[in-house]
Amino acid sequence: MPIYEYVAVEDGTVLELLRPMKDADLKVEDPEHKGRKFVRRLSTFGLGGTSADATATSHSTHVHSGGCGCGKPNGGCGRG
């Protein structure tokens, strides 16, 4: 089941709710009973690293940011 993020229009409070996809756009009750309206927002995630890391490895499709997906330190798999 996916986790959805909802933000209060009035004050920007963010809630994370675990709910089925079919319920993603159903009304969210204000947990603090303040009458706020919550709308679903696009959730994104980021990977560690800096823009300098991305620039340094822009010639490659294999990006290291503190370690490789293979679990080895930078360059440990021979691809970075």
Note the pLDDT tens digit of each residue in 10-40. Answer: 999 999 999 999 999 999 999 999 999 999 9
> What integer pLDDT is reported at residue 58 of this predicted model?
46
Measured distance CA(2)–CA(27) in Å, rounded:
16
Contact in structure between 4 and 40 (CB atoms under 8 Å) = yes
Look at 66 and 6; give whichever has higher pLDDT: 6
Residue type (1 letter), 68: C
Q: Output the pTM of the full model.
A: 0.54
Could you read off the pLDDT of 32-66 as tens digits, one per residue?
999 999 999 987 766 666 655 555 544 444 444 55
The candidate with the shortest Cα–Cα distance to 39, out of 20, 13, 1, is 13
Contact in structure between 6 and 15 (CB atoms under 8 Å) = yes
